[in-house]
Amino acid sequence: MIKVMYPGSFDPLTLGHEDIIKRASKMFDVVIVGVLKNETKKSLLTIEERMELIEVSTEHLGNVEVVTFDELLVDYVFEKKINFILKGLRNNKDFEEELVMAQGIKVYNKEVETLFMPTKPSLSYISSSIVKSLFYNKGTIDNYVNIDVLKKLESRRKNEKDRAVFKNN
């Protein structure tokens, strides 16, 4: 059984992420989506919300698992006997950053392999950072995320408005 780990913050899950997961699900027996906490970024969604949205968005694929962990990715992959780490690439900048990380992983543990998958050109402009920026600035995000993510974020926006009104009264 060949397993691949697709790690990321997925804050929020985008159509680009979904494209990589769907394509990987056709290539590997098991795709494990590893939801990571990124302490350097302001989170829009909780880990639990991100995991739930990924599960809902990928349940039709049948071979996708969603996990989170609080140890080094390379250690987790090695301990769980996951065959590969998969990194999605949108552009040259992504490649340069991911290549450095893959090389660092290889130095840390020679047994762990990293694979790169370019996103579809039609989705290469999408990033979680752009979605968050649009969301925080009240922009339209329906071309960037699926309907479940959109509903979750719209609900979040409504709740924030309700709290703001309540605080002002």
Q: Cα separation of 114 and 106, whole Å?
A: 8
Q: pLDDT tens digits for 54-86?
A: 999 999 999 999 999 989 999 999 999 999 999
Q: Is 60 considered catalytic here?
A: no
Q: Three-state SS for 135?
A: helix
Q: pLDDT tens digits for 6-44?
A: 999 999 999 999 999 999 999 999 999 999 987 777 788
Q: pLDDT tens digits for 126-165?
A: 999 999 999 989 899 999 999 999 999 988 877 765 444 4
Local structure of residue 89 (DSSP, 8 states): E
Q: Which H or E run includes 121? A: none
Active site residue: 37, 90, 106, 156, which one? 90
Cis omega (within 30 of 0) for bond into 7: no
Q: Is 17 considered catalytic here?
A: yes
Q: Nearest-CA neighbor of 25 among 69, 56, 59?
A: 59
pTM for the structure as a whole: 0.90
Cβ-Cβ contacts under 8 Å for 95 (sequence gap 6 or more): 89, 116
Q: Is 41 considered catalytic here?
A: yes
First and final CA of the chain: distance in angstroms?
59
- Alpha helices (runs of H) in the chain, residue ranges in sequence order: 15-27, 47-58, 73-79, 92-108, 128-136, 147-168
Cβ 14 vs Cβ 48: under 8 Å: no
Active site residue: 41, 80, 120, 158, which one? 41
Cβ-Cβ contacts under 8 Å for 119 (sequence gap 6 or more): 16, 19, 20, 88, 89, 90, 126
Active site residue: 87, 128, 132, 152, which one? 128
